[in-house]
Chain A
């Protein structure tokens, strides 16, 4: 049986947050919320885990730093030592102050680009990827909750709809769940 999904739409971020709190307290599992901007404090309510992007950033940063060290050690010390202002050019450690800026640049470059790309990939929002918000107005002034029936086994569609209708919705729609990507 195809999964069914209920889209409940609100016209205010605060109402959406309060309704989410109420529904979750009622035992409803909210799969996702689509909104034009981040709604503060909704993550813990609908059970979104703390992001691990920071760990990814650290991993990219260390990669960048290591690449920089390997690079300037080979280029500037091992392969072709260059005399720049009479600085010690046969030892990495003594010449290290000269390489601190480039180490820093590489670390930041890798961390920043790595984080941005990971973020786009993980959210499937790279340029050209299809949008997965159910309504076009989710990018403007509508806040939509996605509630899947398969996530709420204890409740029938009617029960769910009745509970949702007690909150200050502006629209409600039930349809077959279509995996966009």
Chain B
């Protein structure tokens, strides 16, 4: 419609993805012979698949939140949120494909010369989970059987994905329909659907993260884990929305979006950074204080083997948004915001890396060409898909009941 992907943006995206692909192939070629190669490869697909899916899912959640709370100010940026959320369609396919391959590999449990070198979902391995006569049989995993089995994993995963997909499609359809029809019937329907989505998402975001991410460490559990990953996902989606907003403003679109809208999204980034840091610390402190060996191993292992990434990502995701985004002026300054957003995205990628890699690869995880390359490929696909969705509809909704309020938003 009114927005077209400029040739410069297209070139940048293709160049990013191409450079990423080259780095990824270099990474594969140089690591092919290592014992951890298979684990490393699939860990990375899981990390990037989840990270970008979560970025879109956070935007879908934010959209539902705006509907359920009947928020006025965000109407002018609604299409941006929808565009970021639209990646869930690709994210679902990618993540399901990754899960399918891991399932076919029966969790990817790898042994070299009789010792364990890595796994993705080790509970998927029938020998470990149910063969009582085997030396590898793990009674702790076997005792978690109703939850940690392939059948249950796939049933709930498909329910989650179907719910996310259908709600995205529904919100998008009604949003475009509203442009044509107007009135308040669609608005009230969005209100009800938004509230319903929040309830479902409240359960699903927790339970899905237990299955998808926490189960790479099948002996360990944390009830806070779901909120923790949710805090990170919300924060990254707000940064994605902000980056897109700044990009569009810079190129002369969205003339009705003013400093106050930018300021509000900036506040969200600030607040969600705190939410994430709060949950990080809540989880950390409880284990640190109780100091029960089977629980605290999760943290001691990370602190011993990945001190730089573990503490570094906490500092980046907590200190930088806190100090830089605290003042009002910073939240209205596109340059500062852009820099902070890019840093936060990298920081939260490192967070997801910390969730997966120490569990799958033990102490052998590194960040090299493979990691950087695959991240760039995914970033390219994400950016292209999101911009492509933006071209499909007018950037400003037409008949939303609170449109006028949003146009005159001033704080």
Contacts and interface: CB of A to CB of B under 8 A. Distances in A.
B328 interface: yes
Given A40-B410, A41-B410, A54-B328, A97 B289 contact: yes
Contacts of A86: 291
B327 interface: yes
Nearest to A51: B328
A86 B290 CA distance: 10
A86 B291 CA distance: 9
B281 A85 contact: no
Contact of A100 (B285, B326, B328): B285
A54 B327 contact: yes
Nearest to B411: A40
Nearest to A50: B328
Contacts of A101: 285
Contacts of A175: none
Interface in A33-63: 40-41, 54, 58
Interface residues of B, number: 11
Contact of B289 (A40, A41, A54, A98): A98
Interface in A64-92: 85-87
B167 interface: no
Interface string B317-336: 00000000011100000000
B311 interface: no
Contacts of A98: 285, 289
A97 B291 contact: no
B153 interface: no
Nearest to A98: B289
Interface string B294-328: 00000000000000000000000000000000111
A41 B290 CA distance: 52
Contact of A85 (B289, B326, B328): B289
Contacts of A85: 289-291
Interface string B341-381: 00000000000000000000000000000000000000000
A27 B291 CA distance: 70
Contacts of B281: 97, 100
Interface string A90-132: 0000000110110000000000000000000000000000000
Contacts of A58: 326
Contacts of A87: 289
Nearest to B328: A54
Contacts of A100: 281, 285
Interface string A128-160: 000000000000000000000000000000000
Closest 8 CB pairs of A and B: A97-B285, A97-B288, A41-B410, A85-B289, A40-B410, A100-B281, A85-B291, A100-B285
Interface of B: 281, 284-285, 288-291, 326-328, 410
Interface of A: 40-41, 54, 58, 85-87, 97-98, 100-101
